[in-house]
């Protein structure tokens, strides 16, 4: 077992023995599991260890397939399912809920097991994460690889620039002030990603920082021409063109962590899933803080949920749910949080001895949890990828200087409205 505590495995195993519908899964010997690798670190080894511990407890072998980014994993999973050889379950973006439902490829948890025990288990997840999991009174996915957007900042560079390393920016004005002091000698004060597949996450946080939500809960309407959305877009553009503390043009997600680690970016907007990577590789003192807002910190939740696919047989669906309960048991969820930096998605995980001890030693691990009350859900609509493309294309034009904030948001709204027209309800 790859560094997984014996206690975690035993507790998870006890949960398995108590789980309903075990009989339905007993004839299953293997499952295929697609998993996205989108950040650095030893995540494949951790997932391999969880699959091995599950096999020891259940006798069921889970074969993980590491399929690239979230977008690549979605494409590969859907292609395989339509070709008749798809995975039985997968981690995909929580924000893909509406689009995946429209594809009619999901098996909701209640259709796999509607027993009271499963409902009690579902009730243990943070409501903020379950908001991305439920629709039409059914649970379509289970929170797992979840995060909030936070920022990492280089305390040593803060100190050298005459900034207080224990008082990172909490407002936009403070961010600009710190960014100006930190931008010099080929180093950027702050970097945010506007690359395809990631720009919408960054922009969702910026919109929330002026009190704006980009879509309705049904995923059928978007609100990019709202003055607050334009204000958020204009602030991002100003960081590059007016204040000159972030690069113009496209900034890829993949460069953020390396640029921070080699100290060519003093601050980066990133995911809590990078915490272990930073702790392992940073050769300087760094801090973690909630994203600064117009008046105070506000952020966006993100990350992936576990989805079961209806192409799996009833027994395979039951076995997949059994694995999902295994990796979300309190001790296992705590282990995942400790070793990756992703949030433990259940309150009972934060009460385990292991996670209590960890947060005492690494207070930064609590930052993301503390941001949940000021977080909004990630942009999630039907035809999600087409809406994302419209937004990300216009964000890139915005940061390249070829569009104003008002024009970029108007063009995004026009395309998204066209894409979503058939999903509007009378």
pLDDT of residue 39: 54
Give the whole-number percent of the chain exceeding pLDDT 70: 92
Q: What pLDDT shows up at residue 7?
A: 46
Q: Is residue 1 in some structural domain?
A: no
pLDDT of 34 above 50: yes
Phi, psi of 425 (to 5 degrees): -95, 145
In a domain, 338, yes or no: yes
SS3 category, 127: helix
- Name the residue among 290, 289, 345 with its Cα closest to residue 146: 345
Answer for the pair 167, 289: CB distance below 8 angstroms, yes or no. no
Question: Where are the extended beta strands (E) located within 187-340?
Answer: 267-271, 286-290, 299-308
Let me know whether 344 and 365 are in one domain. Answer: yes
pLDDT band with cut points at 50, 70 and 90 for residue 27: confident
Span of 39-48, 269-278, 342-351 with lowest mean pLDDT: 39-48
pLDDT, tens digit (0-9, with 9 covering 90-100), for 202-238: 999 999 999 999 999 889 999 999 999 999 999 999 9
Domain that holds residue 316: 6-146+302-369
Quote the CA–CA distance of 287 and 310 in Å, as a whole number: 43
pTM: 0.83
Q: What pLDDT is stored for residue 272 in this prediction?
A: 86
Whether 17 shows a pLDDT value over 60: the answer reads: no
Give the CATH number for residue 349. Answer: 3.40.190.10
Average pLDDT over residues 254-280: 94
Q: Are 237 and 386 part of one and the same domain? A: yes
Please report whether residue 55 resides in a domain: yes
Cα–Cα distance between 369 and 399 in angstroms, integer? 31
DSSP string, 105-166: -B--HHHH---HHHHHHHTTB-HHHHTTTEETTEE--EEEEEEEEEEEEEHHHHHHTT--TT
**pLDDT number for residue 18:** 43
Instruction: Out of 6-10, 88-92, 146-150, 330-334, pick the least confident.
Output: 6-10
- The residue-averaged pLDDT of 323-336 equals 97
Residues 6+ positions from 126 with CB-CB distance below 8 Å:
143, 345, 346, 347, 372
User: What is the pLDDT averaged over residues 282-293?
Assistant: 97
Residue 335 is assigned to a structural domain of this protein: yes
If asked whether residues 255 and 342 sit together in one domain, one would say no
Short-list 19, 1, 10, CA closest to 323: 19
Q: Which of 119, 114, 118, 92 is nearest to 103 (CA)?
A: 92
How many folded domains does the chain comprise?
2
State pLDDT tens for residues 378-412.
999 999 989 999 999 999 999 999 999 999 999 99
Q: What is the mean pLDDT of residues 317-330?
A: 98
In this predicted structure, the answer to whether residue 92 has a pLDDT above a threshold of 70 is yes
Three-state secondary structure call for residue 77? helix
Say yes or no: 120 and 170 in one domain: no
Domain co-membership, 154 together with 238: yes
- My answer on whether 13 and 121 are in the same domain is yes
In a domain, 102, yes or no: yes
**Contact assessment for residue 92 and residue 309, using Cβ atoms and an 8 Å cutoff:** no
Specify whether 171 is located in the same domain as 278: yes
Same domain, 348 and 237: no
Same domain as 84, residue 169? no
Q: Are residues 53 and 109 in the same domain?
A: yes
Q: Which of residues 21 and 44 earns the better pLDDT score? A: 44
Instruction: Report in angstroms the alpha-carbon separations of 270 from 152, 177, 235, 365.
Output: 7, 20, 18, 14
Q: How far apart are CA 135 and CA 114, in angstroms?
A: 16
Domain's final residue, options 369, 393, 409: 369
Examine the domain organization and report whether 163 and 132 are in the same domain: no
Instruction: Provide the angle, in degrees to the nearest 10, between the axes of the packed helices 330-340 and 353-361.
Output: 20
Mean pLDDT of 12-30: 59
Closest CA to 322 of 48, 58, 4, 50: 58
Position 158 in a domain: yes
Say if residues 373 and 388 touch (Cβ distance below 8 Å).
Answer: no
Final residue of a structural domain among 345, 369, 393: 369
CB neighbours (10 Å) of residue 199? 26
Residue-wise pLDDT for 60-76, tens only, equals: 999 999 998 888 999 99
Which tokens hold the place of 24? 């339905």
If you average pLDDT over every residue of the chain, what do you get? 91
User: Mean pLDDT, to the nearest integer, of 248-270?
Assistant: 97
d(CA 102, CA 211): 29
Going by C-alpha positions, the residue among 107, 146, 112, 151 that lies closest to residue 129 is 146
Same domain (yes/no): 241, 122 = no
- What's 292's DSSP letter? P
What's the pLDDT score for residue 129?
87
Q: Domain boundary at 324, 352, 369, which?
A: 369
């Amino acid at each position: 077992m790859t560094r997984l505590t014996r206690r975690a495995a035993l507790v998870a195993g006890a949960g398995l023995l108590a789980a309903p519908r075990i009989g339905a899964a007993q004839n299953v010997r293997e499952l295929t599991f697609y998993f996205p690798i989108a950040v650095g670190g030893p995540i494949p080894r951790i997932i391999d260890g969880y699959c091995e511990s599950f096999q020891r407890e259940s006798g069921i072998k889970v074969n993980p397939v590491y399929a690239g980014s979230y977008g690549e994993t979605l494409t590969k999973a859907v292609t395989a399912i339509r070709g008749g050889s798809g995975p039985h379950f997968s981690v995909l973006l929580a924000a893909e809920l509406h689009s995946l439902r429209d594809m009619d490829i999901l098996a909701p948890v209640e259709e796999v097991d509607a027993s009271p025990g499963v409902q009690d288990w579902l009730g243990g997840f943070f409501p903020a994460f379950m908001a991305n999991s439920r629709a039409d009174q059914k649970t379509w996915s289970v929170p797992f690889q979840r995060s909030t957007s936070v920022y990492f900042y280089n305390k040593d560079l803060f100190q050298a620039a005459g900034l207080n390393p224990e008082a990172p920016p909490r407002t936009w004005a403070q961010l600009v002030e710190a960014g100006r002091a930190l931008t010099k000698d080929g180093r950027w004060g702050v970097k945010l990603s506007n690359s395809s597949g990631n720009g919408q996450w960054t922009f969702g946080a910026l919109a929330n920082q002026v009190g704006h939500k980009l879509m309705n809960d049904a995923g059928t309407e978007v609100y990019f021409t709202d003055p607050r959305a334009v204000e958020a877009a204009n602030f991002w553009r100003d960081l590059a063109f007016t204040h000159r503390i972030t690069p113009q043009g496209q900034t890829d997600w993949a460069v953020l962590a390396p640029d921070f680690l080699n100290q060519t970016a003093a601050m980066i907007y990133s995911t809590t899933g990078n915490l272990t990577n930073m702790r392992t590789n940073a050769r300087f003192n760094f801090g973690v803080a909630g994203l600064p807002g117009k008046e105070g910190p506000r952020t966006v939740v993100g990350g992936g949920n576990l989805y079961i696919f209806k192409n799996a047989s009833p027994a395979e669906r039951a076995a997949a749910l059994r694995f999902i309960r295994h990796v979300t048991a309190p001790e296992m969820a705590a282990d995942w949080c400790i070793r990756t930096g992703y949030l433990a998605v259940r309150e009972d995980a934060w009460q385990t001895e292991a996670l209590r001890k960890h947060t005492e030693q690494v207070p930064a691990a609590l930052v993301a949890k503390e941001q949940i009350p000021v977080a909004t859900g990630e942009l999630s609509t039907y035809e999600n990828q087409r809406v994302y493309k419209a937004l990300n294309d216009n964000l890139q034009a915005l940061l390249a200087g070829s569009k104003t904030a008002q024009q970029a948001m108007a063009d995004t709204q026009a395309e998204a409205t066209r894409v979503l027209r058939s999903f509007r309800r009378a």
